[in-house]
Chain A
Amino acid sequence: MSLLVGLFFAIGTYLILTKSLLRIILGTSIISHGVHLLILTMGGLKTGGPPLLGLQDLPFTDALPQALILTAIVINFATTALFLVLSYRAYKVLGTDDTDQMRGNHDE
Chain B
Amino acid sequence: MMNNLIILPIIIPLITGMVMVIFRKNIKLHKILSLTALSASGIIAALLMGENKIDGIQTLNLGGWEPPFGVSMVADMFSSMLLLITSIVSLCCLLYAFRSIGQERESHYFYPLFLFLITGVNGSFITGDLFNLFVCFEVMLISSYVLISLGGTKVQLRESIKYVLTNIVSSFLFLVAIAYIYAITGTLNFAHLSLRVAETGQSGLLTIVSILLLVIFSLKAALFLFFWLPGSYSAPPTAVAAVFAALLTKVGIYAIFRLFTLVFYHEPQVTHLLIGILGAATMIMGAIGAVAHWDIKNILAYNVIIGVGFIIAGLASFSIEGITGSVYYIIHDIIVKALIFLLGGTIISLTGTGKLKDMSGLIRNHPYLGWMFFIAALSLAGIPPLSGFLGKVFITHGTFEAGYYWLGGIGLMTSLMALYSVIKIFMNCFWGETYLSEEMESGTTKGVMVPIACLSLLTILLGLGAEGISVYTDLAVKTLMNPELYIHAVFEGRTAP
- List A residues at the B interface (Cβ < 8 Å): 16, 21, 24, 28, 31-32, 35-36, 38-39, 41-44, 64-65, 68, 71-72, 75, 78-79, 82-83, 86-87, 89-90, 93-94, 99, 102-103, 105, 108
Contacts and interface: CB of A to CB of B under 8 A. Distances in A.
Select the residue from A21, A79, A86, A89 with max chain B CB neighbours within 10 A. A86
A83 B168 contact: yes
Given A82-B164, A86-B145, A39 B175 contact: yes
Contacts of A82: 142, 145-146, 164
Contacts of A64: 182
Interface of B: 131, 134-135, 138, 141-142, 145-146, 149, 152-155, 157-158, 160-161, 164-165, 168-169, 171-172, 175-176, 178-180, 182-183
A88 B176 CA distance: 29
B169 A16 contact: yes
13 contacts: A31-B169, A36-B175, A38-B176, A39-B179, A65-B179, A68-B178, A71-B131, A75-B171, A83-B168, A86-B161, A86-B164, A94-B157, A99-B161
**4 A-B pairs with least C-beta separation:** A42-B183, A42-B179, A90-B157, A39-B179
Select the residue from B152, B154, B176, B179 with max chain A CB neighbours within 10 A. B179
B153 A108 contact: yes
B396 to A, nearest CB: 39
A99 B179 CA distance: 32
B165 A24 contact: yes
A93 B157 contact: yes
B138 A105 contact: no
Given A28-B172, A82-B146, 16 more contacts: A16-B165, A24-B165, A32-B172, A35-B175, A35-B179, A39-B182, A68-B182, A75-B138, A75-B171, A82-B142, A82-B145, A83-B165, A86-B157, A86-B160, A90-B157, A93-B152
Contacts of B149: 86, 89
A75 B138 CA distance: 7
Contact of B154 (A16, A71, A108): A108
A28 B161 CA distance: 13
B357 to A, nearest CB: 15
Contacts of A38: 175-176, 179
A21 B161 contact: yes
B158 A94 contact: yes
Given A16-B169, A79-B142, A79-B168, A89 B157 contact: yes
Contacts of B158: 90, 94, 102-103
Contacts of A94: 154, 157-158
A68 B176 CA distance: 12
Contacts of A71: 131, 135
Contact of B175 (A72, A79, A108): A72
A4 to B, nearest CB: 14
B366 to A, nearest CB: 27
Contacts of B179: 35, 38-39, 41-43, 65
Contact of B176 (A16, A35, A83, A103): A35
A61 B171 CA distance: 27
B133 to A, nearest CB: 12
B130 to A, nearest CB: 10
Nearest to B157: A90
A42 B179 CA distance: 6
A43 B183 CA distance: 6
Contacts of B160: 86
Contacts of A65: 179, 182
B481 to A, nearest CB: 31
A46 B467 CA distance: 57
Nearest to A103: B158
B454 to A, nearest CB: 33
Nearest to A80: B168
Nearest to B160: A86
Contacts of B164: 79, 82-83, 86
B228 to A, nearest CB: 14
A39 B161 contact: no
